[in-house]
C-alpha cells in the first residue's frame, strides 16, 4: 500500500493547484482523477472551451460588423463549425496536457480512476487502497436541472452538450440568464442562431450591480438576443431533433410555449460528491448539499479537507485555485488565507462584465454610507477608436474614509481592468490613491482612473 502525505480527489483548478502547492511545500502528493484528462470542469467542459468559442465567434462578429468601417473590405468569413470545434478541442488538449506536464515536473502521482474514502486516512481507487495523512476533496460540481426538464445532451443540453453541438441551431432557447446562459447564448447568437433567453427573475445575472444588469441586457438585445423575463419554465418536450419549452409568466400566470432546435439549460450548478462515501464518514453538509468546512478548509472529520465548487462560496475557478493553495499551506503547517471579500467575477461576453466587492444593494442593506464614482467608456479615446465605447466603470467607496469597497465594470477588457481595483482593495486603498496613480494613455485603464476621480473632485473627460 502506497503512503502519501496528501491525496487530493479531483484534478480541477482546485485540486491540481492544491497538488502543485503541496508538492512545492515538500509533501508527497497524489491526485485521484476519474476523467481521462486533467483540469476538471474548467479545462475540459467549462472556462477554457467556452472562452475559445467566445473568442472565435467574436472574431466573426468583428469581421461582419466592424471591419468595413475601418476600410477592411471583402467577403466576411463563413463558419466551418467542425473546424471551430476542432480549434476548441485543440485548446483543451494543450491545456490539459500542460497540467500533466506540471504533475510530472512536480513529481505528483496521478491515481487514475474514481476515488472514495472508506475511512479517514484512506482513499480507495478501483481495488487499490492508499494511505494519506491528509485527504483534500476537490470533486467540483455538476449542472443542476429543473423538474420536468430531461437532459439528453443533444437537443436539451447543459453547457457540456452546448460546447459540442452537431451543428449550429437555427433556434436556441436558453433557460436561465446567468453566466453560462449569456456566455453561450452570445456564442450561438453571433454564429447566426435565433436565441431566446427565458429567465425566472426580472433582471439578468442575479446579484450584480443593477445598472450593469440593465446595460448588459440592453446591449445583448442590440446584439440580437431576445429575453423573456419573469418566466418560470414548467417543462420541456423533446423529440430527436426539436423541443418545446413551456413557461408561465409570473406576473399573470399565463402559459406560453417556445419552439427550439436546441434548449440550453443553464439554471445553476450543484456540488458533485457522489460515490465519495461522505455519509458513512459522517462528513457534515450544508442545506444546499455543499461540504461544510471550517476556516482552515477542514471538515468536521479530522484530516479531511474540502475546497472549490464542492464547498460554499462562488463557483469560480480562481476561487477554487486560491482555496487549493491555502488548504495546501494549512496541511503543511503554514497559514493559508483567502480574502473572500475580494474575489472578482467576470462574464466573457462582448463587452465583458466584471465585478468585485460590494454592490450598492449590499451596502444599502448593511447601512454603510458610500459614494459612487462612475465613468462612461464614451469618454475614453481608445474605446471609441475600437468600437467599444458602450458601458462604464463604477467604483464604490466609503463616504467618510474614501476606502474602495467595490467596483462594477461593463466594457472592453473589463475582466482585466477589474484587477487593478482588486489589488487596490487588497492594499486597503482609497479611491484617491487610484485617482492619483498615473495611467498610460490611450488605454481602457484610464476609465478606471476616471471613475476613481469621479469619487472625488470629478473626472476629466465627461
Ligand atoms: P472541477 O473543475 O469541477 O473539478 C473536479 C474534478 O474532480 C473533475 O475533473 C471530476 O472528474 C473529479 N472528480 C470528482 N469526483 C471524483 C472522484 N470521486 N474520484 C476522482 N475524480 C473525481 N469559472 C471561472 O472562474 N471562469 C470561467 O470563465 C468559467 N467558465 C465556466 C464555463 C462553464 C461552461 C462552466 C460549466 C463552468 C465555468 N466556470 C468558470 C466554473 C469553473 O469551471 C468551476 O468553478 C471550477 O472548475 C471549479 O473547480 P473545482 O476544482 O472545484 O472542480
Ligand atoms: P447562474 O446561477 O449564474 O444562473 C442561473 C440562472 O437561471 C439565474 O439567473 C436563475 O434565476 C435562472 N433560473 C433558475 N431557475 C429557473 C427557471 N425555472 N426558469 C428560468 N430561469 C431560471 O448559473 P449558471 O449560468 O448555470 O452557471 C453556473 C455556475 O458556473 C455559476 O455559479 C458561475 O459562477 C459558473 N460559471 C462562471 C463563469 C464565469 O466566471 N465567466 C462562466 C460560466 C459558469
**What local confidence, expressed as pLDDT, does residue 2 receive?**
78
Give the tens place of pLDDT for each residue, 342-389: 999 999 999 999 999 999 999 999 999 999 999 999 999 999 999 999
Residues in the chain, total? 462
> CA-CA distance, 5 to 174, in Å (whole number)?
45
How far apart are the C-alpha atoms of 90 and 149, rounded to whole Å? 32
CA torsion 214-218-223-226 (nearest 10°) is: 90
Round to whole Å and give the CA distance between 203 and 229: 7
User: Confidence band (pLDDT; 50, 70, 90) for 1?
Assistant: low
Residues lining ligand 1, judged by CB closer than 6 Å? 9-15, 32-35, 40-42, 46-47, 50, 114-115, 138-141, 159, 180, 272, 275-276, 308-309, 315-318, 320, 348
Whether the CB of 199 sits within 6 Å of ligand 2: yes
How many angstroms is it from 266 CA to the middle of ligand 2?
5
What pLDDT does 232 receive? 97
In the β-sheet with 404-411, what is the strand arrangement from edge to edge? 345-347, 352-357, 404-411, 392-398, 370-376
Q: How far apart are CA 225 and CA 212, in angstroms?
A: 17
Q: Is 187 in the pocket of ligand 2 (CB under 6 A)?
A: no
User: Coil, helix or strand for 292?
Assistant: coil
pLDDT of residue 413: 98
Look at residue 76 in the predicted model and tell me its pLDDT: 85
Ligand 2 atom with minimal separation from the 348 CA: 41
CB environment 334-359: b (16+ within 10 A), e (fewer): eebebeeeebbbbbbbbbbbbbbbbb
The pLDDT value given to residue 52:
98
The helix, strand and coil proportions of the chain, stated in percent and rounded to the nearest 5, come to: 35, 25, 40
Nearest to 42 by CA among 18, 15, 21: 15
Residue whose C-alpha is closest to residue 256's, from 241, 287, 234? 234
- Each residue's pLDDT tens digit, 53-97: 999 999 999 999 999 999 999 988 999 999 999 999 999 999 999
In the chain, the N- to C-terminal Cα span, in Å, equals 69
| CA–centroid distance, residue 267 to ligand 2 (Å) | 5
Calculate helix-pair angle for 13-24, 81-105, nearest 10 degrees: 20
- Contacts (Cβ under 8 Å, ≥6 apart) of 126: 113, 114
The CA 208 to ligand 1 mean position distance, Å, reads 22
Neighbours of 185 (CB within 10 A): 28
The three-point CA angle 24-25-26 to 5° equals 90
Q: What is the largest CA-CA distance in the chain?
A: 69
> How far apart are the C-alpha atoms of 4 and 125, rounded to whole Å?
14
CA of 328 to the centre of ligand 1 (A): 18
- The Cα–Cα gap between 151 and 174 comes to 13
C-alpha cell at 348: 466573457
Supply angle C-alpha 204, 206, 208, rounded to 5. Answer: 95
Cβ–Cβ under 8 Å, residues 40 and 13: yes
Cell numbers describing residue 452: 476613481
Q: Is 246 one of the annotated active-site residues of the chain?
A: no
Q: What is the pLDDT of residues 401-411, one digit of tens each?
A: 999 999 999 99
Question: Which residue from 179, 183, 216, 217 has its CB within 8 A of the most atoms of ligand 2, so it is best to mutate?
Answer: 179
Q: Are 118 and 37 in contact (CB under 8 A)?
A: no
What is the band of 442 on the pLDDT scale with cuts at 50, 70, 90?
very high
Average pLDDT over residues 419-423: 98
DSSP designation for 155: S
**Best CA proximity match to 286, nearest among 277, 276, 274, 294:** 294
Is 305 near ligand 2, meaning CB less than 6 Å away? no
- Kindly tell me if the per-residue pLDDT of 394 is higher than 80: yes
What's the mean per-residue pLDDT of the chain? Answer: 97
Query: What are the helix (H) ranges across 66-176?
Result: 81-105, 159-162
Q: Which of 263, 254, 268 is nearest to 198 (CA)?
A: 263
pLDDT digits (tens, 9 = 90+) for 155-180: 999 999 999 999 999 999 999 999 99
Amino acid at each position: 500500500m502506497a503512503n502519501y502525505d496528501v491525496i487530493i480527489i479531483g484534478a480541477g483548478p482546485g485540486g491540481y493547484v492544491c497538488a502543485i502547492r503541496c508538492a512545492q511545500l515538500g509533501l508527497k502528493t497524489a491526485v485521484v482523477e476519474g476523467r481521462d484528462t486533467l483540469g476538471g470542469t474548467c479545462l475540459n467542459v467549462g472556462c477554457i472551451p467556452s472562452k475559445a468559442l467566445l473568442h472565435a465567434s467574436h472574431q466573426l462578429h468583428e469581421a461582419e460588423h466592424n471591419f468595413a468601417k475601418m476600410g477592411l473590405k471583402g467577403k466576411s468569413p463563413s463558419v466551418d463549425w467542425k473546424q471551430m470545434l476542432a480549434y476548441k478541442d485543440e485548446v483543451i488538449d494543450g491545456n490539459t496536457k500542460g497540467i500533466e506536464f506540471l504533475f510530472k515536473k512536480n513529481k505528483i502521482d496521478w491515481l487514475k480512476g474514481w476515488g472514495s474514502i472508506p475511512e479517514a486516512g484512506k482513499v480507495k481507487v478501483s481495488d487499490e487502497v492508499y494511505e494519506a495523512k491528509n485527504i483534500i476533496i476537490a470533486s467540483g460540481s455538476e449542472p443542476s436541472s429543473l423538474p420536468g426538464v430531461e437532459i439528453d445532451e443533444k437537443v436539451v443540453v447543459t453547457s457540456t452538450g452546448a460546447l459540442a453541438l452537431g451543428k449550429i441551431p437555427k433556434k436556441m432557447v436558453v433557460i436561465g440568464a446567468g453566466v453560462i446562459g449569456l456566455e453561450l447564448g452570445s456564442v450561438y447568437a453571433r454564429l447566426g442562431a435565433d436565441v431566446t433567453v427565458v429567465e425566472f427573475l426580472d433582471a439578468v445575472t442575479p446579484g450584480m450591480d443593477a445598472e450593469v444588469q440593465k446595460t448588459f441586457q440592453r446591449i445583448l438585445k442590440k446584439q440580437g438576443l431576445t429575453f423573456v423575463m419573469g418566466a418560470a419554465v414548467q417543462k420541456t418536450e423533446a423529440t430527436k431533433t426539436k423541443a418545446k419549452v413551456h413557461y408561465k409568466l409570473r406576473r399573470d400566470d399565463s402559459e406560453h410555449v417556445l419552439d427550439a432546435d436546441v434548449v440550453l439549460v443553464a439554471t445553476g450548478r450543484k456540488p458533485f460528491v457522489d460515490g465519495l462515501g461522505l455519509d458513512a464518514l459522517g462528513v457534515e453538509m450544508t442545506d444546499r448539499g455543499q461540504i461544510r468546512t471550517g476556516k482552515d478548509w477542514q471538515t468536521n472529520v479530522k484530516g479531511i479537507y474540502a475546497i472549490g465548487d464542492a464547498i460554499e462560496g462562488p463557483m469560480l475557478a480562481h476561487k477554487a485555485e486560491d482555496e487549493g493553495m491555502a488548504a495546501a499551506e494549512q496541511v503543511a503547517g503554514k497559514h493559508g488565507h483567502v480574502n473572500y471579500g475580494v474575489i472578482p467575477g467576470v462574464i466573457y461576453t462582448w463587452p465583458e462584465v466584471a465585478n468585485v466587492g460590494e454592490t450598492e444593494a449590499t451596502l444599502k442593506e448593511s447601512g454603510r454610507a458610500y459614494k459612487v464614482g462612475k465613468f462612461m467608456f464614451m469618454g475614453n479615446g481608445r474605446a471609441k477608436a475600437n468600437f467599444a465605447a458602450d458601458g462604464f466603470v463604477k467604483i464604490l467607496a466609503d463616504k467618510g474614509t474614501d476606502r474602495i469597497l467595490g467596483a462594477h465594470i461593463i466594457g472592453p477588457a473589463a475582466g482585466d481592468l477589474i484587477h487593478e481595483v482588486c489589488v487596490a482593495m487588497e492594499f486597503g486603498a482609497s479611491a484617491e490613491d487610484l485617482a492619483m496613480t498615473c495611467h498610460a494613455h490611450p488605454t481602457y485603464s484610464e476609465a478606471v482612473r476616471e471613475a476613481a476621480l469621479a469619487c472625488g473632485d470629478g473626472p476629466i473627460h465627461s
